[in-house]
Structure 1
Amino acid sequence: MKQIDDQMSQNLIKPDSIMKELIVYFSLVYLLTWLCWAPSFSIEFSHLTQTILLNLGNFMPSIIAAMLIVCSMKKDDVPKMISRVFRIRFSFVWYLFAICLMPVLLGTAYLITYFITGLEFQSLLLPIIIPEIWPLIPLVGYFIAVQGPLGEELGWRGYALPKLFQLFNPFKSSIILGIVWSFWHYPKFLLTGTIQFELAGVYGIMIAIVGYTLYTVLLTLMITLLFVKTNGSVWAVMLFHAISNFSHGLFTILLDTSGAVIMLMLMMLLTFTMVAKNKELYFKQLIVSC
């Protein structure tokens, strides 16, 4: 199995030190993100201020990771991170995985839901794309730059996941990171205009949180497979994340109870299959250099 990074670390792993680094990272991300999001809950701030701070908060996972890497004074960390971000040469199979998996999953979930319940097709993005095909490219660029991937993945996958690999196998690392990632989003269940707020409005906040957490953990297990198979490519993960967000704009079935249940069932089936077929990858401790 291909290991993360070309050069394997031969140094003795210090679990306590790595755990402290992760706790500091996650704590700073939560604190600074939520401070940036806080004005969005108050009418005392202008819409422009709220928007700027909301988007700044969305970038905190990557910003904090970059700051910690620079402040760590470990001369090898910066080039390693840059290498991961620009690691674009990997098997075409994994480009297909990154680009096609979520659109196919969501499209399949919609078709199944349609045949069972007659669910009417609804899309937020299709009316924008259909008139002319050219908006597709800037839309995908928007989802990469603003709607999550660039602001998050340098941190979640570029910084935190390799450190988790030094403490746990990829399966446990994915469960932990999936829960951490979900929890980071929780304030948005109270924030008007977010998909999390819409989910809470349809299902109630507790059911929405449980379903969203399950979805995010399953998604994290999928992303971990992509990350390892592409030798730690943050670019591959960013592409997957962007296409995933884009696909949810094309197929807005999560706001329908039947559609959401079928989507989660498909994700569980696919994730179980991935884990079963890649047991060595998920359950064997990886040797990585962070």
Structure 2
Amino acid sequence: MYLVVAVAGTWAFWLPAIALGVRFDSAVGLVLLLVGLAVPGVFGIAFVYLTYDERGRTDFWNRVTQLRRFGIRWLTVILLVPLGVSVLAGVVNLLLGGPGPTWGEGVTEFGVNPVAILPALFFATLPPILEELGWRGYALDRLQLKWSAVSASLVLGVVWALWHLPLFFIEGSYQHDAVGFATTEFWLFMAGIVALSFAFTWIYNNTERSVLGIIILHGWVNFTAEVIVVPDLAYYALWFVLAGVIVAIWGAQTMTGADEVPHPPLRSEQ
């Protein structure tokens, strides 16, 4: 039910932007974009309060605020994985005769216009917070109560990808202006989000279900993709390779090597 509400709630603000021809870089469009982005997180919090008792609610906010859940080791993993994927994708592309990695527009123009870096900073901060309070903060736990980590990652990844769909029809969005609908890049983007979902579950399950760690990971994925530009094929292919390595090493059931998937404190455990 949460997944349906999260997608429908966001689309309720983004579909009117399509119908009215509103651009996301306009004042009205920016409001519609931000409200739509906030829906997964707002409803994630609402479902936490509807589903769990005080123990579960406290657990949620601890996962959002506690640094100790991921520590230095997993913080290093969080920071190195997206950076490593971007750099390695650029190297692979270069070895195959492509242009290799280049700096994003925000970096190249920073010396002349420091404001040019703001889009990268925006995508690295606000959207991950607004989204992950729901996707991983609520939905992933509920999916893993019934299914393996791999199945939960697949379901959430598909829904997460479809959630972005209206953006491809709204001018002023990255998806519309830089990717386009039904292009090769479109299919790579949509499939790549599913691959990212596997990596996010792996980090989440190995950091005591840290939502804060996932927010940092999501933001760092966005930021590195903005500042280090590499061809989509090599970039997303490496995320699929990483997903396969994770499942092969840590196991499809939990992606942790443990026998059980970590789960929130349920009412029956009182």
> Fold match, TM over 0.5?
yes
Q: Is the 8 A contact 2:22 2:29 kept in 1?
A: no
Structure 1 residue 276, shift from structure 2 partner: 0.8
Gaps of 5+ in 2: 266-270
* Paired position in structure 2 for 1:10: none
Structure 1 residue 206, shift from structure 2 partner: 5.6
Please list the CA deviations of residues 7-63 of structure 1 after superposition, one character each: whole Å capped at 9, or x if unmatched. xxxxxxxxxxxxxxxx2x112111221111134222479921221121111111000
1:277 partnered with 2:249: yes
Q: Is the 8 A contact 1:61 1:151 kept in 2?
A: yes
**TM-aligned CA distance change 1:140 to 1:82, over 3 Å:** farther
* Paired position in structure 2 for 1:4: none
- CA distance in 2 between partners of 1:281 and 1:45 (Å): 42
TM-score (norm. length: structure 2): 0.84
Q: Is the 8 A contact 1:168 1:285 kept in 2?
A: no
- CA distance in 1 between partners of 2:7 and 2:243 (Å): 28
- CA distance in 2 between partners of 1:184 and 1:45 (Å): 18
* Paired position in structure 2 for 1:87: 66
Gaps of 5+ in 1: 1-22, 254-258
Deviates more, 1:244-253 or 1:71-80: 71-80
TM-score (norm. length: structure 1): 0.79
Deviates more, 1:122-131 or 1:213-222: 122-131
Structure 1 residue 132, shift from structure 2 partner: 10
Q: Is the 8 A contact 1:222 1:271 kept in 2?
A: yes
- CA distance in 2 between partners of 1:239 and 1:264 (Å): 20
Please list the CA deviations of residues 95-146 of structure 1 after superposition, one character each: whole Å capped at 9, or x if unmatched. 011112112211221122233334162412213555799x98x887644442
Q: Is the 8 A contact 2:137 2:211 kept in 1?
A: yes
Structure 1 residue 192, shift from structure 2 partner: 1.6
- CA distance in 1 between partners of 2:73 and 2:112 (Å): 31
Q: 2:97 aligns with which of 111, 114, 117?
A: 117
Q: 1:228 aligns with which of 201, 205, 215?
A: 205
Structure 1 residue 210, shift from structure 2 partner: 2.9
* Paired position in structure 1 for 2:77: 97
1:242 partnered with 2:215: no
Paired AA for residue 89 in structure 2: A
1:216 partnered with 2:193: yes
1:289 partnered with 2:269: no
* Paired position in structure 1 for 2:268: none
Instruction: Provide the aligned length of Structure 1 versus Structure 2.
Output: 258
- CA distance in 2 between partners of 1:111 and 1:45 (Å): 36
- CA distance in 2 between partners of 1:169 and 1:269 (Å): 20
Paired AA for residue 270 in structure 1: L
* Paired position in structure 2 for 1:6: none
Deviates more, 1:212-221 or 1:152-161: 212-221
Q: Is the 8 A contact 1:144 1:238 kept in 2?
A: no
**TM-aligned CA distance change 1:261 to 1:43, over 3 Å:** closer
Q: 1:251 aligns with which of 212, 228, 251?
A: 228
